[in-house]
C-alpha cells in the first residue's frame, strides 16, 4: 500500500526521537525486556525508511543514554549485543538507501569490537547523500555540553581563543549534534526530555505519543508530522510578527 505523505505538506528538517516503551511492550506480551528491545530495533528500521522516504534531512535516535549504564548488567550486555548485531545486519541496507549514518556520544566506553563496528558503519556510509541518521549512544545532553565546555576552556587556557569569541555559533560547532531539532518525539507515554538534545531542542516542537516504541511505525510518524504542521513556530516573536514575515516571503 502506498504510504501517505503527511498532511500540510511540510516535513521537519530534523526529527529526534526518544524511543521509549520497549520494556513495557515486552512485559505486556509476557516476554523478556530484551525481546522488547529486539522489537524496538525492527521499529527503528521501519521509521528510518519512512523518514527517508518523506524527505527528512536528519533523524536522531536516542539508542542508549549516558544514564542507561545503571540498568541491570544483563540488559546492558544484551543492548550492546543488539547494537553490534544491528550494525552488522543493517550496514549494507543503509548504504544502499544512501543513508549516511553516524554514532554520536561517548563511544570510548564501548568494547573495542563495538567501536570497530561503529567505525566500519560510518566509513561505509560516509559518502551517502540522503538522510543523515544519527544514533545517539552513550549520549547525554549534559555530557555534550560538558565536552564542549572542556574543549573551549582548554583552547582559551592555551591562548588559542579569547573567551569573548565564544558565542552560540561557536558552541554549536563544538557539539556532537550540530543541527537544531525541529520536531522532538517521545514515545511510551512519559512526558520528559531525559537529558536528550538539551541545547539543540531549545525551539523544538515536542510531540508525546502514548504508543510504545515497538508499535511506532510510518503512520505514527505521519501523525507526529501532522502535529508539527499544526504548530506556529514563533521563536520568541509574536504571532503577528510571524504572520507578517510569512506575508513578506510571498
Ligand atoms: C527505552 O525503552 C529504550 C532503550 C533504552 C533502548 C532503545 C533501543 C532500541 C530501540 C533498540 C536498538 C536500537 C538500535 C539503534 C540498534 P525502555 O526499555 O526504557 O522501555 P520501558 O520504559 O517500557 O521500560
Whether 22 sits among the annotated catalytic residues: the reply is: no
- What pLDDT shows up at residue 248? 63
- What pLDDT shows up at residue 167? 98
pTM of the predicted protein model: 0.92
Residues with a CB atom less than 6 Å from ligand 1:
19-24, 37, 40-41, 44, 61, 63, 68, 82-83, 86, 135, 188, 213
Distance CA 220, CA 209 (A): 9
- The cell numbers describing 61, all together, are 535516535
Q: How many angstroms does the Cα of residue 127 sit away from the middle of ligand 1?
A: 29
- What pLDDT shows up at residue 249? 63
Q: Are 64 and 83 in contact (CB under 8 A)?
A: yes
Question: Residue 186: which of 46, 48, 16, 26 has the closest Cα?
Answer: 16
- What pLDDT shows up at residue 241? 78
Question: Residue 103: which of 85, 77, 83 has the closest Cα?
Answer: 83
The burial class, CB within 10 Å (0-12 / 13-18 / 19+), for 99 is buried
Residue nearest atom 15 of ligand 1, based on CA coordinates:
63
Q: Considering 68, 106, 179, 226, which one is annotated as catalytic?
A: 68
Residue nearest atom 16 of ligand 1, based on CA coordinates:
83
- Residues of the chain with confidence (pLDDT) below 70: 1-9, 248-250
Q: Are 24 and 212 in contact (CB under 8 A)?
A: yes
- The cell numbers describing 93, all together, are 541496507
Residue ranges of domains in the chain, CATH in brackets: 9-140+179-249 (3.40.1180.10)
- What pLDDT shows up at residue 95? 98
Q: How many angstroms does the Cα of residue 39 sit away from the middle of ligand 1?
A: 9
Amino acid at each position: 500500500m502506498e504510504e501517505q505523505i503527511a498532511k500540510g505538506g511540510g516535513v521537519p528538517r530534523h526529527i529526534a526521537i526518544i524511543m521509549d516503551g520497549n520494556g513495557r511492550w515486552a512485559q505486556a506480551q509476557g516476554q523478556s525486556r530484551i525481546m522488547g528491545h529486539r522489537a524496538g530495533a525492527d521499529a527503528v528500521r521501519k521509521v528510518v525508511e519512512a523518514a527517508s522516504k518523506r524527505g527528512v534531512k536528519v533523524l536522531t535516535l536516542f539508542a542508549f543514554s549516558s544514564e542507561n549504564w545503571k540498568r541491570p548488567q544483563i540488559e546492558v550486555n544484551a543492548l550492546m549485543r543488539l547494537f553490534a548485531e544491528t550494525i552488522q545486519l543493517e550496514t549494507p541496507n543503509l548504504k544502499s538507501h544512501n543513508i549516511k549514518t553516524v554514532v554520536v556520544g561517548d563511544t570510548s566506553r564501548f568494547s573495542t569490537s563495538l567501536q570497530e563496528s561503529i567505525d566500519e558503519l560510518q566509513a561505509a556510509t560516509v559518502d551517502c547523500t540522503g538522510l543523515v541518521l544519527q544514533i545517539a549512544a552513550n549520549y547525554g545532553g549534559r555530557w555534550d555540553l560538558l565536552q564542549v565546555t572542556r574543549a573551549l576552556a582548554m583552547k582559551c587556557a592555551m591562548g588559542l581563543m579569547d573567551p569573548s569569541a565564544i558565542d552560540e555559533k561557536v558552541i554549536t560547532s563544538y557539539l556532537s549534534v550540530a543541527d537544531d531539532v525541529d520536531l522532538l518525539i517521545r514515545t511510551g507515554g512519559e512526558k520528559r526530555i531525559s537529558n536528550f538534545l538539551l541545547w539543540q531542542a531549545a525551539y523544538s516542537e515536542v510531540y508525546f505519543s502514548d504508543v510504545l516504541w515497538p508499535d511506532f511505525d510510518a503512520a505514527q510518524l505521519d501523525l507526529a508530522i501532522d502535529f508539527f504542521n499544526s504548530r506556529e513556530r514563533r521563536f520568541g516573536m509574536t504571532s503577528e510578527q510571524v504572520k507578517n514575515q510569512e506575508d513578506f516571503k510571498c
